[in-house]
């Protein structure tokens, strides 16, 4: 399954927005996931990602589906810097 | 990009004065964001303008991310506890490569002291906020926003002067310093030069 983050917006900035996105993803996107299906996170089309938004969406995604989530490469520096921060 | 001094005769200087004096000098409405969604809307316009001015899109995105983190911090840590007018003031002057954000919230020391009671000074509080992954809203897992702000500023030639109480955190490519401030800001004030 590929999750296109741009479908949650181009500016992914605040914690409340990240939390709401996660709740929506659980209800409408991830509910279709097969038991062992891998998840790819696609940052294409995202203009700004902050660690606050990422922490509310990606951190629980990684925790809920351990070993099943991968991030597609991005040239966007806010994406790469945010991912680096939340991975620490 | 040249780094300009704040011209107190320009309207954007009102934001700094509001951060210090509170309601005595209210900034123009165009800067005032009483709620998070209004701040987000202004942030969208800010990015659009910045992309037209800068040749480097990534730089515009990084600046927007910094402003987004700082501005949303104001709402995250002061909802229901604003000492003055609720919300943030957010203004910018593209020609002067200058951004100012301010709130009349509790200040960083009050927030940090809730989770680290032995924090006694504004300088200690700023050092914790910018260097430690520590949530001021325990038990929620938070606390990485200002670390991100510092990292992005230091690696992208962005200068930040962040005030809270009687302390200043100064960040640029070559420096990360916490020191006494010449001004007393009850909430927070961020002056960003890029």
Q: Which residue of A has its CA nearest to B132?
A: A88
Domains: count for chain A = 1
Q: How far apart are CA A79 and CA A5, in angstroms?
A: 11
Chain B residues with CB within 8 Å of chain A CB: 36, 40, 43-44, 47, 58, 61-62, 64-65, 68-69, 72, 75-76, 133, 141-142, 144-145, 147-148, 151-152
pTM over the 0.90 mark: yes
Q: Is A41 helix (H, G, I), strand (E, B) or coil?
A: strand
What is the CA B47 to chain-centroid distance, rounded? 17
Q: Which residues of B touch A86 (CB under 8 A)?
A: 144
Q: Which residues of A touch B72 (CB under 8 A)?
A: 13-15, 50, 52
Q: How far apart are CA B76 and CA B159, in angstroms?
A: 24
Q: Which helix (H) or strand (E) holds B161?
A: strand B159-172
| Nearest-by-Cβ selection for B148 from A14, A15, A81 | A81
Q: Which two tokens stand for residue B93?
A: 């002057």
Q: What is the pLDDT along chain A (88 residues), one digit of tens a residue?
A: 999 999 999 999 999 999 999 999 999 999 989 989 999 999 999 999 999 999 999 999 999 999 999 999 999 999 999 999 998 8
Query: Under CATH, to which class is B13-193 assigned?
Result: alpha beta
* B79-132 pLDDT, tens digit each: 999 988 899 999 999 888 999 999 999 999 999 998 889 999 999 999 999 998
Domain that holds residue A65: 2-87
According to DSSP, the residues that pair with A39 across neighbouring strands are A69
Q: Check A51 against B47: CB less than 8 A apart.
A: no
């Amino acid at each position: 399954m590929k999750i296109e983050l741009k479908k949650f917006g181009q500016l992914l900035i605040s914690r409340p927005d990240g939390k709401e996105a996660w709740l929506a993803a659980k209800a409408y996107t991830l509910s279709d996931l097969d038991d062992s299906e891998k998840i790819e996170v696609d940052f294409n089309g995202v203009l700004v990602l902050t660690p606050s938004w990422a922490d509310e969406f990606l951190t629980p995604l990684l925790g809920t589906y351990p070993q099943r989530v991968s991030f597609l490469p991005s040239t966007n520096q806010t994406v790469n810097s945010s991912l680096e921060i939340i991975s620490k | 990009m040249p780094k300009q001094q704040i011209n107190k005769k320009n309207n954007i200087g009102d934001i700094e004065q509001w951060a210090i004096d509170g309601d005595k000098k209210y900034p123009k409405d165009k800067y005032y964001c009483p709620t998070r969604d209004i701040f987000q809307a202004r942030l969208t316009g800010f990015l659009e303008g910045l992309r037209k001015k800068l040749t480097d899109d990534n730089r515009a995105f990084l600046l927007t991310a910094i402003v987004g983190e700082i501005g949303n911090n104001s709402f995250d840590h002061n909802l229901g506890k604003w000492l003055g007018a609720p919300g943030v003031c957010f203004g910018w002057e593209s020609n002067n490569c200058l951004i100012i954000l301010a709130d009349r919230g509790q200040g960083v020391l009050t927030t940090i002291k809730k989770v680290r009671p032995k924090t006694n000074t504004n300088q200690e509080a700023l050092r914790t906020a910018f260097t430690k992954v520590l949530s001021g809203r325990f038990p929620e897992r938070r606390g990485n926003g200002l670390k991100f702000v510092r990292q992005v500023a230091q690696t992208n030639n962005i200068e930040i002067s962040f005030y809270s109480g009687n302390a200043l955190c100064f960040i640029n490519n070559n420096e990360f310093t916490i020191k006494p401030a010449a001004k007393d800001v009850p909430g927070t004030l961020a002056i960003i030069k890029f």
